[in-house]
Amino acid sequence: MIKDDIIVLPHIHLRERSKKVGIISKEIKQLVADMQAATLDWEDSRKHEVGVALAAIQVDKPLRIVVIRNNFDNKNDRDFKVFINPEITKYEGVVEEDYEGCLSVKNVYGKVPRNTKVRVKALDIDGKEIRLTAEGFLARVFQHEIDHTNGAVFVDHIKDNPEAFFVLDEEGRLIKLDYENDVRNNPILW
């Protein structure tokens, strides 16, 4: 898969709940490899961004599969961890706003409130149960990606906040969008 296989709003499938994976077949393993390839291809086309994670629904496969980059700060580390049927079992910490982007929301970024700590359970690529506590940016990533498996996109959390929408300029800086003209009535976002 390539970046062009990633679906973007207003594609209706991004609003659908994904199904649990029953058996981790060779087709599921191939889908995981394709998701990683599409994420890296997207990243390679972007000067100031890192392809952090992807949910299967973002490549139009309604399955509860998420891939998350091992190292968000090193673009040379192109490895991912796989989470099948991920779910947040507990929200902890405090709720903080921070910037998020999405491979399925073209050129719009948002300041989204998320918990600073979550507990997650999932299966790995071999079907072995994983339980972990994620904090900081990783907690944000899990919440963002698990939202995708539930048919939600980050803009849903900020749709009524005129101060929360941004665009990235050519220098990689976030610039606030005009809510009335660029956001509220934009059919691409909703």
Scan for tokens 């029953």, then name that residue: 22
Q: Is the peptide bond before 10 cis (omega within 30 degrees of 0)?
A: yes
Q: With beta carbons less than 8 A apart as the criterion, state whether 100 and 116 touch.
A: no
The question of whether 145 is a catalytic residue gets the answer yes
- The DSSP bridge partners found for residue 118 are 91, 134
Active-site choice (49, 97, 135, 145): 145
Q: Which helix (H) or strand (E) holds 42?
A: helix 26-44
Scan for tokens 């995708």, then name that residue: 148
φ/ψ of 77, rounded to 5, equals -85, 100
Residues marked as catalytic: 145
